[in-house]
Amino acid sequence: MTGFIRGVLADERGSSFIENALWIILFVLTISPFILALATTIGTKFTEIVSKINSIGTS
Protein backbone atom coordinates (compact mmCIF):
# COMPACT_ATOMS: atom_id res chain seq x y z
CA MET A 1 0.00 0.00 0.00
CA THR A 2 2.89 2.34 0.72
CA GLY A 3 4.13 1.94 -2.85
CA PHE A 4 0.76 3.04 -4.20
CA ILE A 5 0.73 6.20 -2.07
CA ARG A 6 4.29 7.05 -3.14
CA GLY A 7 3.30 6.52 -6.75
CA VAL A 8 0.31 8.84 -6.45
CA LEU A 9 2.36 11.54 -4.72
CA ALA A 10 5.20 11.25 -7.27
CA ASP A 11 2.87 11.46 -10.29
CA GLU A 12 3.13 15.01 -11.69
CA ARG A 13 0.89 14.68 -14.75
CA GLY A 14 -1.89 16.88 -13.35
CA SER A 15 0.28 19.35 -11.46
CA SER A 16 0.61 21.84 -14.33
CA PHE A 17 -3.16 21.82 -14.82
CA ILE A 18 -3.74 22.50 -11.13
CA GLU A 19 -1.05 25.19 -11.07
CA ASN A 20 -2.57 26.96 -14.07
CA ALA A 21 -6.04 26.73 -12.55
CA LEU A 22 -4.78 28.28 -9.31
CA TRP A 23 -3.14 31.15 -11.22
CA ILE A 24 -6.38 31.81 -13.10
CA ILE A 25 -8.39 31.76 -9.87
CA LEU A 26 -5.91 34.14 -8.22
CA PHE A 27 -6.06 36.50 -11.20
CA VAL A 28 -9.87 36.51 -11.27
CA LEU A 29 -10.12 37.13 -7.52
CA THR A 30 -7.59 39.96 -7.78
CA ILE A 31 -9.25 41.70 -10.73
CA SER A 32 -12.93 41.17 -9.81
CA PRO A 33 -13.29 44.20 -7.45
CA PHE A 34 -11.98 46.51 -10.18
CA ILE A 35 -14.31 45.00 -12.77
CA LEU A 36 -17.26 45.37 -10.38
CA ALA A 37 -16.42 49.04 -9.75
CA LEU A 38 -16.07 49.66 -13.49
CA ALA A 39 -19.40 47.96 -14.21
CA THR A 40 -21.12 50.06 -11.55
CA THR A 41 -19.68 53.27 -12.97
CA ILE A 42 -20.66 52.34 -16.52
CA GLY A 43 -24.18 51.47 -15.36
CA THR A 44 -24.53 54.83 -13.62
CA LYS A 45 -23.32 56.73 -16.69
CA PHE A 46 -25.62 54.72 -18.94
CA THR A 47 -28.58 55.60 -16.70
CA GLU A 48 -27.62 59.30 -16.82
CA ILE A 49 -27.40 59.24 -20.62
CA VAL A 50 -30.77 57.50 -20.95
CA SER A 51 -32.42 60.02 -18.64
CA LYS A 52 -30.92 62.94 -20.62
CA ILE A 53 -32.15 61.44 -23.88
CA ASN A 54 -35.62 60.94 -22.41
CA SER A 55 -35.72 64.52 -21.13
CA ILE A 56 -34.86 65.87 -24.58
CA GLY A 57 -37.63 63.81 -26.16
CA THR A 58 -40.28 65.20 -23.80
CA SER A 59 -39.37 68.88 -24.21
Domain span at 29 = 14-57
- Hey, what amino acid is at 4? F
CA distance 12 to 15: 5
Does residue 3 lie in a domain region?
A: no
Does residue 25 lie in a domain region?
A: yes
Between residues 38 and 8, the one the model is more confident about: 38
- pTM comes to 0.55
Count of domains observed in the chain = 1
CA distance 26 to 18: 12
pLDDT of residue 59 exceeding 60, the answer is no
CA distance 5 to 9: 6
Q: What does the pLDDT look like over 10-35, one tens digit per residue?
A: 767 778 888 899 999 999 999 999 99
Does residue 4 lie in a domain region?
A: no
Does residue 23 lie in a domain region?
A: yes
pLDDT of residue 8 exceeding 70, the answer is no
